[in-house]
Chains A and B, each alone.
Chain A
């Protein structure tokens, strides 16, 4: 196998783009919390970037992508990047160094647990967060990544389609966020006092940086610089714009004013929904996916508010529900005219693909929910998950880190 310099450059650049998404997420979330918790919220993302960068090279990549064991998990043959060198791996990316592929995938493993942190913002003890993140990455993310993307993984063999992580990244994190919010309980004063975002401009900037980085996430998942990457880039941008327009319109109708934060959240919902489909659908399909994301994710937030679940930054509504819609829509709108190596969806004569997508959605929901619940209960045996009441009232920036965000 010969290394292609263009493909390698694109995947390395994409890895850097995806890396930027995690601090961008920190700012997106940071703007949405109260000023006494902004630093701790940003720290969640920054810390996970550091943690998974090490976990991934030590054992994470081997568990997710290593030689298959029973179609469920990768073996330990690639621990410490043993046997992961510069020669391309034909199963994953035949034209780039194996380590470039490993690096690209590392950035996906980084952002996924960081997404969950929005659910327990403003109340989780940092030490509990550290333990939870490491265990979750190992026992929830790595197995699901192997099922869907690993050579020999059971969902991969079944024929379920997930181009850039609708099930692996967004359903897993979104469902885990819902479980975490339920296990940790509501913030003090939830539903009694209004919790306003402390800096909406920070959130909009974070959303824009997420949008920018997402081009690496989706177009980079072609693992080659060519037509498929270009198509993924186009549909990603289109779905995102359409979802933002739709969300803004729905919230305008519902709340009588076009919300800026709503437009930003809508853009993220569109990015989430197009992720699994980005390598399989055409531009018309991406418009429908963006439209659907704007409607269903907005509706999911209304439902979450009605049942009084304190998923603080709506990770379940945007990532869990948006990822589910995107995975299902892949089964509806996929076409081999875009990706000849994949399959058609229902609208192109293959209804079976919808069933395969539902199987992948169910598996990801189930494993993420059960795994997260068990991990939280185990962590709670050693470290209380929540900070004490007075620490929560003081704010996590001071109580957990001893530093205020602003000296104003």
Chain B
């Protein structure tokens, strides 16, 4: 295994290990916008 391959494997390992320790979620800082699913009737002129 040459030096380039060793560094490449270490690079991949760092990224993969990072995913194991990183937070899975963060408290939401933005209030969710509530959207009504009800629609107002639309009048259509003949």
Q: Which residues of A contact B (CB under 8 A)?
A: 242, 245-246, 249, 252-253, 256-258, 282, 284-285, 287-288, 291, 333, 347
Interface SS of chain A: helix, strand, loop or mixed?
Answer: helix
Are A285 and B19 interface neighbours, CB within 8 A? no
A/B interface sample: 15 pairs, CB < 8 A = A242-B12, A246-B11, A246-B15, A252-B22, A252-B23, A257-B26, A258-B22, A282-B4, A284-B4, A284-B5, A285-B4, A288-B4, A288-B11, A347-B2, A347-B3
Are A249 and B2 interface neighbours, CB within 8 A? no
Q: Which of A256, A287, A333 contacts B11 (CB 8 A)?
A: A287
Residues of A within 8 A of B23 (CB): 252, 256-257
Instruction: Flag whether B33 is at the interface (Cβ < 8 A).
Output: no
C-alpha spacing A285/B4, complex, angstroms: 6
C-alpha spacing A322/B14, complex, angstroms: 20
Contact string, B2-46, partner A, CB cutoff 8 A, digits 1/0?
111101100110110011001100100000000000000000000
Residues of B within 8 A of A287 (CB): 8, 11-12
Q: Which of A245, A284, A333, A347 contacts B15 (CB 8 A)?
A: A245
Nearest 10 CB-CB pairings of A with B: A291-B11, A287-B8, A284-B8, A249-B18, A284-B5, A284-B4, A256-B26, A252-B22, A288-B7, A288-B8
C-alpha spacing A242/B14, complex, angstroms: 12
Q: Which of B4, B7, B8, B15 contacts A249 (CB 8 A)?
A: B15
Q: Which residue of A lies closest to B18 (CB)?
A: A249
Residues of A within 8 A of B2 (CB): 284, 347
Known: A252-B23, A291-B14. 5 other contacts (CB 8 A): A253-B18, A287-B11, A291-B8, A291-B15, A333-B4
Residues of A within 8 A of B22 (CB): 249, 252-253, 258
How many residues of chain B are within 8 Å of chain A by beta carbon? 15
Q: Which residue of B lies closest to A333 (CB)?
A: B4
Chain B nearest Cβ from A26, distance in angstroms: 29
C-alpha spacing A253/B19, complex, angstroms: 9
C-alpha spacing A91/B19, complex, angstroms: 48
Residues of A within 8 A of B3 (CB): 347
Residues of A within 8 A of B15 (CB): 242, 245-246, 249, 291
Q: Which residue of A lies closest to B6 (CB)?
A: A284
C-alpha spacing A249/B2, complex, angstroms: 26
C-alpha spacing A242/B7, complex, angstroms: 13
Q: Which of A245, A253, A258, A285 contacts B8 (CB 8 A)?
A: A285
Known interface pairs A257-B26, A288-B11, A291-B11; A249-B19 also in contact (CB < 8 Å): yes
Chain A nearest Cβ from B2, distance in angstroms: 7
C-alpha spacing A246/B26, complex, angstroms: 20
C-alpha spacing A87/B12, complex, angstroms: 47
Chain A nearest Cβ from B5, distance in angstroms: 5
Residues of B within 8 A of A347 (CB): 2-4
C-alpha spacing A287/B4, complex, angstroms: 9
Chain A nearest Cβ from B15, distance in angstroms: 5
C-alpha spacing A291/B5, complex, angstroms: 13
C-alpha spacing A257/B18, complex, angstroms: 12
Residues of B within 8 A of A253 (CB): 18, 22
Are A252 and B12 interface neighbours, CB within 8 A? no
Q: Which residue of A lies closest to B27 (CB)?
A: A256
C-alpha spacing A249/B11, complex, angstroms: 12
Residues of A within 8 A of B19 (CB): 249
Q: Which residue of A lies closest to B29 (CB)?
A: A257
Known interface pairs A287-B12, A288-B11, A291-B11; A252-B18 also in contact (CB < 8 Å): yes
Residues of A within 8 A of B7 (CB): 284, 288
C-alpha spacing A282/B5, complex, angstroms: 10
Residues of B within 8 A of A291 (CB): 8, 11-12, 14-15
C-alpha spacing A26/B30, complex, angstroms: 29
